[in-house]
Each structure stands twice: as C-alpha cells, then as structure tokens.
Amino acid sequence: MTAAREHVMADLRDRIASVTGGAARKAGCLPFRVAEIDAVLPGGGLAYGALHEFAGGGAGTVDGAAAALCVAGVAARTKGKVVWCMTRPDLFFPAIAQAGLNANRVIFVESDKEDEVLANMEEALAYGGLGAVVGEVVRLPMMASRRLRLAAERTGTLALIVRRWRRQTEANDFGQPTASTTRWRVSVMPSEELPVPGVGRGRWLLELMRSRAGECAEFEIGACDDKGRVHLSTGSSHGSNPARRSGHSR
C-alpha cells in the first residue's frame, strides 16, 4: 500500500515538474561551494535557467557595489561569455577582474532607457550559449521579470539582476513580488581582522530573502576572492580595538 502510494506520488511529482519548467531542472545548478549556503538552496546552488535578484543594503541600495561584485563573482564561476546590460556605466572593471571575471568574457551593452536594458537582457537570454546575463535595473515589474524568466528557462542561461535605486528610500520596492527564483540582499560589514592595522578582506551580510520552494536564511560571508568564491566568515572586531587604524597611527 505505502509502496504503491510512493510510486503514485513520485509519478505525480515528475509530471508536475515536466509541466512547470522541466527544462530549468535539467539545466542544473551553480553551487556556491559553501556547504551551509548550498544546503538551503533547492538543488544545491543557483539554478541555471532561472532569474536571481541581488540588491545592496544601506548605502548599497544606491551604488550597488557589493551586489555587483557578488554577481560578478557568480558570473566568474560560470563558463562562456557574460553579457552585462546597464544604463549607468560606472562599473570599474579592474575590481571586477580581481573577482576572477576576465575582461574578454564580458560584453557590455549600454542603453539609455531601463526598458531597453530589460529588452536587451531578454534578447541575450533567448540567444543562449552564454554563461550568464547580468542586468542593472531600478524597477523590475512582474511582467518583465516573467518574460526574463521564460527566456532563461528556454535556454538554461543564468539570469542575474542587480537592483540599484536612485534613492535609498525607494528601496522598499524590493518587497514587491517578481518572478525571480531567489532574491538576495548583500550588505557590507566591517572587514576581516588583520594581524596588522589596515583594511582586510571585505565581509558581507548575505540575506536570502526569498527562495522558491526553499527557506530564507542569512550568512556572514567573506567577499569574493580572485576566483569569485565566497566563504563563511566569523566575526570581525571593530568594537574590540577601535583605536587601530593604520600603519601610520601614532
């Protein structure tokens, strides 16, 4: 009896999966290679053929620096070309190259309007054969995000969105529903402690705010290294020794 029920359940699950984006499931996942983060994500990583949103926290909602570097780290771990669509060309590529993303792999598409960014992203996703498609946008309406997701599902390309707003107060827009599979917030935290005075490796608070068929979670991680990898990081000690500033301190 139980065996029969199991069989029926498994069969039903397969049929549901084949109706709702079977292609995406086949495409697999890009793991973070951090056991704790991969454990909370269904499939064990960022799903290919799906849309993932990244935003900054605090001042990062406007500059989107940490979110962009985090996305660059993810893109660096994919294979193939990366198309980066945006309206504001203020990305400083030497920093992105330090996260392991080769300049030869990245094609920038700069347009004047937000809508064109979304249209260009959709075109790139539908084209296929790319490692990842990144877009920097302010608004991501439900309709647009669904179109992106469908285009990504068709080709199994990783779609990454960096949300950056013009003002910090506009960032509550991030609560609006979209068709993205996961939604992350990356906020900067005091850097890792060094044995000498100075600024160490950056640390981020990585909040998984929404995950389709998964739980929310938050992690304290160390910023991307030169291969685009992150790692779990334990406390910094701003409080413990505030006087230490630099090698030139009195």
Partner 1 sequence: MPAAKAQALFQGLLMVDADEKADAAALERITLWALAHYSPIVAVDVPNGIVMDTEGADHLQGGEEPMLAGIANRFRGKGLLARVAIADTWGAAHACARAIKRDTVIIPRGDTARAVERLPISLLRLAAKTVDDLRTLGFRTIGELANTPRAPIALRFGQDVGRRLDQMLGRVAEPIDPVRSPDLIEVSRSFQEPIGAAETIDKYVGRLVVQLCEELQRRGLGVRRADLIVDKVDNTRQAIRAGTAKPARDVAWLTKLFRDRTEKIEPGFGIEKLTLAAIMSEPLEEMQKASSLVKDEVKDITPLIDIFGNRGARVYRLSPVASDVPERSVQRISAAAVDVEATWSRSWPRPVRLLPYPELVDVIALMPDHPPVSVTWKGKRHKVIRADGPERVFGEWWVRNSELEAVRDYFVIEDDTGERLWIYRAGDGVDTATGSHKWFVHGIFA
Our CB check for partner 1 shows the closer of 35 and 199 to be 199
Beta strand pairing call for 51-56 and 231-232: unpaired
Smallest distance, partner 1 to C-beta of residue 124, A: 6
Could you list the residues that contact partner 1 (CB under 8 A)?
58-59, 63-66, 68-70, 80-81, 83, 90-98, 102-104, 106-111, 116, 119-120, 123-124, 127-130, 186-191, 197-200, 202-204, 223-224, 226, 238, 242, 244-246, 248-249
Our CB check for partner 1 shows the closer of 2 and 169 to be 169
Smallest distance, partner 1 to C-beta of residue 205, A: 9
Please calculate the CA angle 240-219-37 and round it to the nearest 5 degrees. Answer: 145
Our CB check for partner 1 shows the closer of 24 and 221 to be 221
Residue 56, SS3 per DSSP: strand
| The residue type at 50 | A
Smallest distance, partner 1 to C-beta of residue 107, A: 5
Tokens of 202: 């950056």
Our CB check for partner 1 shows the closer of 212 and 244 to be 244
End-to-end CA distance of the chain: 78
Smallest distance, partner 1 to C-beta of residue 112, A: 8
Smallest distance, partner 1 to C-beta of residue 167, A: 12
Our CB check for partner 1 shows the closer of 83 and 158 to be 83
Which residue in 34, 43, 107 sits closest to 75, CA to CA?
107
Handedness of CA 215, 221, 224, 228 (dihedral sign): negative
Residue 127, SS3 per DSSP: helix
Dmax (CA) for the chain in angstroms is 78
